[in-house]
Amino acid sequence: MDQVFSLIKSMSQSEKRYFSRFSKFQTPDTTNSYLALFNQMAKKDKYDEKILKREFGDLYFAQLKQQLYKKLLQSLRLYYTSNEAQNEIFTHLHNYKLLVSKDLLIAAEKELKRADKIAKESEMSYESAIIFRERNLLINGMSDVFELQNRIKENEIFVKNQIENISNEHEYEKLFLEIEVINKQLEATRNLEELERVTKFLENPLLKSDQLALSSTSKIFFHFSKGLAFYLKSNYENCILHMDQSVFLLETNPFILNRLEGLFVRSQANCCLSYIHLNKYDQFSLTFEKLKNFKLKDSPIIDYRNFLVYVLDIMFLNKIKQFKKAIELIESSNDFIIYMEEKSALKSGYTQENVYNVFQSATAYLGVGLYKKASFVLNEFINQKTKGLKEDAYIMARLFFLCVRFEMNDEALIESELRSIQRYLKEKNKLFLFEKHLLNFISKMLVSTSSAEQKRNFLELKNEIELLKEVEFEKNAFIYFDFSGWVKKFTS
């Protein structure tokens, strides 16, 4: 996709309005060509260069588009200047340079102190180092020998602390990336090997206490990483404990929050997910409203948050069996969902929130008896196997699909799909207890001849599932779809 068009489409309405005002101020002339090109591109859903060239001329179109691109970036820099700690720091540094050139050294030092205060509050090591060096140069020009000797000692302490803090942050950021890799591969532990992998991560000495994390940024990574690991083990109480700490640290450090808005959103969303799994609906509602209404600054993060809010809303409605309301929400949000799915497809295929959206949409359709729609949603997802789907999500989608086709009495398709999924699970060494019980149940139902026999099969599966819920990694088979609730529907 064209980079200028992509940039325009990524802008919020507020950013677009600011650009229009900025452009009119920059070029008051009514024949502002780059603004006219912006307005035309902003209206379109798809980029069509041929149409634009016919309107603006072919000869200088490339130069006009490049001018627009530069103006867009300039406008966005100005739009966010007052919002970003780094921009504030460099504004004070520019003021400092200007005052030094005018030999106003006392005023210049005040600018450095203001910059230093922001850098320390936002824990920006690189900027702190620049400010420290500038203070050295300033003192060299205005201080006596005694002050310079003191400065040498300060230098040694500063360098030692900087190295220690940067190294510490690096270690915790590395832990954060390690648990991210695990989470990219699985949503919950399903066997002993996966369980041991997450347990080993939690046994890292750096995760023993947040006192080992020297900065607020390190502590945020500590709590988020530990909370996510607990989520993967289905230890939702401890997940909430650490995610809440991550949120608290971000809220009390606004400059860091400005840099890590995405982590703030994810921490809140993980709390919401955990509350749903624990059936703590009052706590879910409070956290959900906070996530939904929190004022964010970054446009892509706002879109991401809104999508998470939508998915969590459907998940909650499905959990409390309000399937009709879930369907209403799905249908009223269709355009936004298509937009978000297209965005994720351009980046990396299915994201985890896309995966949840598929399962929750299919659950809602199944809940109101729209079996064909549920089947279509799942089948479309299953056919995207090559787009980086998590193995556990792909497998559960196929098992869910079997359940839907069972309700549709589609015996021919069930038989072929049953053989296919059995082969796949054996090849991948993923034929765990739950999978064995469900596939065995489907096989028996295909040859059952009486309603009494079918009922016995359902009761047997229900009892087996209840026992599996007590097994540490088998209970995680129900993360994506409530197979237990589906069985109870036939046994109640």
Tens digits of residue pLDDT in 166-183: 899 999 999 999 999 999
User: For residue range 61-82, what is the model confidence (pLDDT) as tens digits?
Assistant: 899 999 999 989 888 877 765 4
Q: Same domain for 483 and 394?
A: yes
User: Is the pTM value of this prediction over 0.75?
Assistant: yes
* pLDDT for position 11: 85
Inside any domain, residue 225: no
Whether 424 is covered by a domain: the verdict is yes
Do 148 and 103 fall into the same domain? yes
The vertex-200 CA angle with 197 and 204, nearest 5°, equals 140
User: What is the structure's pLDDT at 348?
Assistant: 55
pLDDT at 161: 78
Task: Give the amino acid at 334.
Answer: N
34 within domain boundaries: yes
**Full domain range(s) for residue 133:** 85-167
Residue in this structure with the two tokens 């929130």, named with its chain if needed? 353
pLDDT digits (tens, 9 = 90+) for 289-336: 999 999 887 777 888 999 999 999 999 999 999 999 999 999 999 888
> At 288, is the pLDDT very low, low, confident or very high (cuts 50, 70, 90)?
very high
Residues 406 and 436 reside in one and the same domain? yes
Mean pLDDT of 256-279: 94
| Residue 19: predicted pLDDT | 87
Q: pLDDT (tens digit, 9 = 90+) per residue, 335-384?
A: 888 888 776 654 555 688 889 999 999 999 999 999 999 999 999 999 88
Q: Is 101 inside any structural domain?
A: yes
User: Could you tell me the sign of the dihedral formed by the alpha carbons of 178, 182, 184, 187, in that order?
Assistant: negative
- 250 and 264 Cβ atoms separated by less than 8 Å: yes
Question: Are 63 and 22 contained in the same domain?
Answer: yes
138-160 residue pLDDT tens? 766 655 667 667 767 777 777 78
Q: Which among 81, 101, 133 is the end of a domain?
A: 81
Residue at 364 is within a domain: no
Residues 450, 453: Cα–Cα separation, whole Å? 5
Dihedral angle at the C-alpha atoms of 132, 138, 142, 146, nearest 10 degrees?
A: 20
Does residue 32 surpass a pLDDT of 60? Answer: yes
- Whether residue 29 is predicted with pLDDT greater than 60 in this model: the reply is no
Domain boundary among 116, 145, 167: 167
Distances (CA, A) of 384 to 183, 268, 295, 372, 461: 19, 29, 35, 19, 30
Question: Is residue 50 located within the same domain as residue 140?
Answer: no
pLDDT digits 0-9 by tens, 110-143: 888 898 888 887 777 778 878 887 877 776 665 5
| pLDDT value, residue 97 | 87
Question: Is there a single domain that holds both residue 441 and residue 492?
Answer: yes
394 and 470 fall within a common domain? yes
Most confident of 145-159, 253-267, 394-408: 394-408
Whether residue 377 is contained in a domain is answered as no
Q: Quote the pLDDT of residue 156.
A: 77
Strand segments, DSSP code E, in 276-434 are none
Number of domains in the chain: 3
Please check whether residue 316 lies inside any domain of the structure. no
Q: How far apart are the first and last CA of the chain?
A: 53
Give yes or no for residue 402 having a pLDDT over 80: yes
- Residue 306: HSE in the Cβ half-sphere, 13 Å Cα cutoff: 14
Question: Which pLDDT score is estimated for 129?
Answer: 79
The pLDDT value recorded for residue 143 is 58
Do 399 and 476 share a structural domain? yes
pLDDT given at position 229: 97
pLDDT digits (tens, 9 = 90+) for 429-487: 999 999 999 999 999 998 888 888 989 999 999 999 999 888 877 888 899 999 999 99
- How many residues can be counted in the chain? 492
Position 452 in a domain:
yes
Give the domain-ending residue among 148, 167, 186: 167
Predicted pLDDT of residue 388: 66
The answer to whether residues 424 and 473 belong to one domain is yes
Whole-number Å distance between alpha carbons of 469 and 231: 16
Residues near 414 by Cβ (< 8 Å), separated by ≥ 6?
Answer: 402, 405, 406, 442, 446
Judgement on whether residues 117 and 20 belong to the same structural domain of the protein: no
185 pLDDT higher than 70? yes
- Helix 192-202 to helix 216-232 angle (10° resolution) is 160
My answer on whether 399 and 490 are in the same domain is yes
Whether residue 36 is found in the same domain as residue 103: no
Average pLDDT, the chain: 88
Contacts of 85 (CB under 8 A, 6+ apart): 118, 119, 121, 122, 124, 255, 258, 259
